[in-house]
């Protein structure tokens, strides 16, 4: 287990215009529902008793040598491309910052911890269903190799909440996330809205010092452009990982994307049952703005808004060049993410175009055939090493079709990566998927019977998949980083 290493850096920015000190809500009940022991051990908190855990993650007593008061971070954002200057941390705050065993700065931040100056008409609370859904999303994405925040803690808080999108009254909780950064694109937008170029520069320097310290060697105006290029690269990688996971975030507003390229702020997310580029997760996304196939477009649009806030600090041509690198970087990241999911080695730099054409052809076949999304990656993991398994799959009839012949030949021509992974018991069963009917069934057992066994069983299944695939989404580095 790593040592607990507190390092509260965000408060060094000095308050306004970056954050407000706030007080946590006081709840009538504190029932521990989720304790992420695996990640607690990585940041030196694995030895906390349950009583100590509740003191810190239900009452929010400060951690030793950490932030003395929670900080509600200020930000604005484009929501479905309409600018909203009336938002910020409205039901959450930054609670603490720590270093993990690799020296990375990590944030512990909340959702549902009470009202703040940015709550507007909200109650500052989170439904228990929202907490359960975030557990499922983050665990599934991490297992599939997506860079994501972690659901560190969920505590049921004993309040009855009224919501328009859930049967009400409904149960309440407070959730604590562990993430690499809670600096959103919208934080820069707020500072630009206030025409505070000095504060923008201070926030950029904070991000470089704590997330991209290798860029400290870059001097002058080139440093800001170099940092922006790094954010572009990280966002490209995240969008590609979502595509390879069949994940639809649902609400890709500028205030829901952060500078470290980490998936977070989960709302109406869904996983694809079958490939559908027009699939949307949010019932209110009536134009399909944030559909599965449009997520890279949303990422680039949001990056352009971030780049606009940096114009006073950097050369415009350099910023534009960085933004234009997004599309080719998405293609490169798509190859990396899809080949990783398939457990085979790409051809390398000498045929990147051919590898991307294969990914595109595979997705087109998956959409046309309506093969179950997760089944395909399960059946063909490690390519040629799984030919017999794929032949015994429920989808074997689809693979026998003539329109799959060329894809099968190309797939089996790639070298398997660590095919010994196929000896794991996970590959003797069925793929672990995360479809909405199962999510609703898990919640129904909790809501109607206070029965948490279905959730526990699902998390055990995800753990088995994580072990079998062997992905570690927590330590990705970019080339040259």
Contact 185, 258 (CB under 8 A): yes
Residue 369 tokens, joined:
């055939």
**Listed residue (347, 348, 169, 189) closest to 254, CA to CA:** 189
Q: CA 442 → CA 133, 281, 450, 453, distances in Å? A: 10, 18, 10, 9
Contact 94, 88 (CB under 8 A): no
**Listed residue (91, 90, 85, 93) closest to 10, CA to CA:** 93
* Cα gap 346→338, rounded to integer Å: 9
CA angle (66 as vertex; 184, 180 as ends), nearest 5 = 30
Residues 6+ apart with CB under 8 A from 409: none
Residues 6+ apart with CB under 8 A from 269: 133, 137, 247, 248, 249, 250, 281
Label residue 475 exposed, middle or buried (CB < 10 Å: 0-12, 13-18, 19+). exposed
- Active site amino acids: 255
């Amino acid at each position: 287990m790593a040592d607990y290493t507190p390092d509260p850096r965000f408060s060094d920015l000095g308050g306004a215009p970056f954050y407000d000190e706030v007080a946590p809500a006081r709840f009538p009940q504190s029932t521990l529902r989720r304790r992420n022991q695996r990640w607690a051990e990585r940041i030196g908190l694995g030895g906390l008793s349950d009583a100590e855990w509740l003191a810190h993650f239900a009452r929010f007593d400060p951690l030793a040598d950490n932030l003395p008061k929670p900080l509600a971070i200020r930000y604005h954002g484009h929501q479905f491309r309409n600018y909203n200057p009336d938002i910020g941390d409205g039901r959450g705050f930054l609670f603490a910052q720590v270093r993990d065993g690799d020296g990375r700065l990590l944030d512990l931040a909340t959702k549902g911890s009470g009202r703040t100056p940015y709550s507007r008409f909200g109650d500052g609370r989170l439904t228990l269903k929202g907490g359960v859904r975030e557990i499922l999303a983050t665990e599934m994405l991490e297992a599939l190799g997506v860079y994501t925040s972690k659901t560190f803690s969920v505590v049921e808080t004993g309040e009855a909440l009224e919501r328009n999108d859930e049967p009400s009254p409904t149960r309440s909780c407070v959730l604590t996330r562990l993430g690499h950064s809670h600096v959103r694109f919208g934080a820069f937008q707020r500072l630009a809205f206030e025409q505070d170029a000095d504060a923008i520069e201070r926030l950029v320097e904070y991000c470089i010092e704590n997330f991209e310290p290798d860029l400290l060697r870059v001097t002058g105006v080139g440093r800001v452009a170099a940092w922006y290029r790094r954010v572009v690269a990280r966002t490209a990688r995240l969008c590609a990982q979502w595509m390879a996971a069949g994940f639809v975030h649902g609400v890709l507003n500028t205030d829901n994307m952060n500078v470290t390229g980490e998936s977070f702020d989960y709302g109406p997310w869904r996983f694809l049952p079958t490939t559908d580029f027009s699939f949307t997760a949010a019932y209110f996304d009536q134009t399909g703005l944030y559909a599965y196939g449009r997520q890279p477009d949303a990422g680039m649009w949001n990056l352009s808004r971030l780049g606009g806030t940096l114009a006073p600090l950097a050369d415009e041509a350099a910023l534009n060049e960085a933004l234009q690198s997004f599309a080719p970087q998405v293609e490169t990241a798509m190859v990396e993410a899809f080949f990783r999911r398939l457990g085979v080695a790409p051809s390398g730099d000498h045929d990147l175009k051919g590898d991307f054409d294969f990914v595109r052809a595979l997705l087109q076949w998956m959409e046309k055939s309506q093969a179950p999304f997760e089944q395909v990656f399960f059946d063909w993991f490690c390519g040629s090493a799984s030919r017999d398994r794929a032949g015994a799959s429920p989808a074997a009839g689809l693979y026998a079709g003539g329109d799959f012949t060329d894809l099968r030949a190309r797939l089996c021509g790639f070298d398997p990566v660590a095919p010994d992974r196929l000896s794991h018991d996970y590959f003797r069963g069925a793929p672990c998927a995360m479809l909405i009917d199962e999510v609703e069934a898990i919640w129904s057992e909790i809501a109607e019977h206070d029965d948490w066994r279905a959730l526990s069983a699902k998390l055990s299944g995800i753990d088995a998949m994580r072990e079998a695939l062997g992905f570690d989404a927590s330590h990705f580095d970019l080339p040259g980083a």
